[in-house]
Amino acid sequence: LPEFFRTGSCADIPYQFVTKSGKIIDVLLSAMAERDAAGQVTHSIAVMQDVTPLNRVKSQLEKAKSRAENLLRTANVLVVELDPAGIVIRVNAEAERVTGYSSRELKGINWFAKIVPRERYPEVWEEFARLLENQKIDAFENPILTKQGQERYITWRNSVVLEGGRTVDRNGHGKCSVN
């Protein structure tokens, strides 16, 4: 609580307390000191909020996220996450293997421009336009071009990620029909 003693107030300081029953709980502590004319602390008011259940849920979410990310990273299918404009947010190891591009090479570029050029694959661009309009596309097979110029056929399953009713990104996972 050095901040409290220095400034006379603190907000949302994580702390642990032991209850009468011996149970350890997590709290957020906020306090404010009242001072006299000479600047001496005369009394203080403190509020503690028990955040033990919230911290437990946060921990469970972090573990679930870690497991899901590990699954996506190691899945034997291509996993591609795109923003609403088709810009690559991330790809997994299988996407790197099949396309021949590293994650670093793909991140931040337009997936469709790089992997399925419009002049060669206009039907893929039409399907992506439908997906942009939030029309559901359960499965779609399309060719892609690898870094080496080879054509591979991928069967995709797509999903749209919404926040507040607004599309924030799109996730696709695909299986290469020829390895």
What does the pLDDT read at residue 14? 94
Which tokens sit at 40?
A: 């001496």
- C-beta atoms surrounding 126 within 10 Å: 11
What does the pLDDT read at residue 99? 96
Q: 10-residue block means of pLDDT along the chain (179 residues)?
A: 83 93 95 90 92 96 93 88 88 95 96 90 81 66 92 84 74 73
Decide if 150 contacts 143 (C-beta within 8 A): no
- Which among 122, 134, 121, 137 is positioned nearest to 162, based on CA atoms? 134
What does the pLDDT read at residue 50? 95
Distance CA 112, CA 103 (A): 15
Beta bridge mates, 67 = none
Distance CA 131, CA 156 (A): 12
Taken as a whole, the chain contains a residue count of 179
Distance CA 51, CA 37 (A): 36
What does the pLDDT read at residue 136? 61
8 Cβ contact partners less than 8 Å away, ≥ 6 residues apart: 32, 33, 35, 41
